[in-house]
Amino acid sequence: MRYFIELAYKGTHYHGWQYQPDASSVQETLNKALSVILKKEIDIVGAGRTDTGVHAKKMYAHFDYETEIDSKIIVHKLNSFLPKDIVVFNILKVHDDAHARFDATKRTYQYHIHTFKDAFENDGSWLHQLPLDIDKMNEACQILFKHNDFECFSKTKTDVRTFNCVIFEAHWQQKGNQLVFTISADRFLRNMVRAIVGTMINIGLGKITFVDFEKIIESKDRGQAGFSVPAHGLYLTQIDYDYIK
């Protein structure tokens, strides 16, 4: 039987989602917890990979187990066993061919910036105090919808077959000293969101124009795009599936 597990985590103390032999990861931590509680070696498959320091407000993974699971009991046991920076919300029985990564139809990320020093925001938001033109940054978002190939925002060493992504939503919102960028797509390349944010920061600072932004995308050259903003401001906030409502 196949199960989906819905969870969230603060990525500050993890070297990303994916298992690494010499560093702590969310995947390894969850594998160990499930294996102890279910009394069987469990190997979970995540909906995607988040980099070192990146957070997830909603993440899915799947695993196989031969008998029926009482979701409420196992969720309670997991949350008692797991460290305080990982929380499990639900365990869902799905069809045997369901796949947490390949069946996802949309993923949503948010990037958080605070524009004035805040003693409580340092682990989950990036401090950027220079004035930004948010209207121009939102105009630049419209340019993203015109394109599908985002190689210029991808890490150069990657094993993907295509750099094509369909972006469904992209916008900036500001409330007081809090600035949030939201972006949804069918898939994301490694480092893509952080590189887009860094490039749009350059638009907001007046360092590049809309024409420059479009040329950067068309160049397919990571060296032409802006800097990657720090990981600790990035959150995976939503993953959509046709069979999970």
Averaged pLDDT in 10-residue chunks for the chain of 245 residues: 98 93 94 96 95 96 96 97 97 96 97 96 94 97 97 86 96 96 96 98 98 97 96 98 91
Identify the bridge partners of residue 182 per DSSP, sorted by sequence position. Answer: 110, 171
- Number of Cα atoms under 13 Å in the Cβ half of residue 41: 0
The CATH number of whichever domain residue 110 belongs to comes to: 3.30.70.660
Token code pair at residue 108 = 């949503």
Quickly count: other Cβ atoms within 10 Å of residue 97's Cβ.
Answer: 8
Q: Are 26 and 236 in contact (CB under 8 A)?
A: no
Structural domain includes residue 155: yes
67 residue type, one letter: T
222 & 125 share domain: yes
81 & 125 share domain: no
59 & 88 share domain: yes
170 & 226 share domain: yes
123 & 77 share domain: no
How much is the pLDDT for 240?
97
Q: Which backbone phi and psi does 66 adopt, to 5 degrees?
A: -80, -15
65 & 140 share domain: no
118 & 225 share domain: yes
Which of the listed residues 43, 74, 94 is the one where a domain comes to its end?
94
Structural domain includes residue 85: yes
Residue found by looking up tokens 């000293």 in the block? 177
Q: How many domains does the chain have?
A: 2
DSSP state of 20: B
Domain that holds residue 42: 2-94
Q: Are 9 and 46 in contact (CB under 8 A)?
A: no
Structural domain includes residue 99: no
Structural domain includes residue 120: yes
Quickly count: other Cβ atoms within 10 Å of residue 130's Cβ.
Answer: 8
Active site residues: 51
* SS3 state at 44: coil
Instruction: Name, in order, each residue with C-beta under 8 angstroms of 232's C-beta and a sequence gap of 6 or more.
Output: 11, 12, 53, 54, 55, 122, 123, 124, 125, 126
190 & 70 share domain: no
Does 243 show up as a binding residue in the annotation? no
Which of the listed residues 61, 94, 127 is the one where a domain comes to its end?
94
82 & 122 share domain: no
Sign of the C-alpha dihedral computed for residues 239, 243, 244 and 245 taken in this order: positive
53 & 169 share domain: no
- Number of Cα atoms under 13 Å in the Cβ half of residue 86: 27
85 & 129 share domain: no
Structural domain includes residue 28: yes
Q: What angle do CA 230, 52, 122 make, to 5 degrees?
A: 45
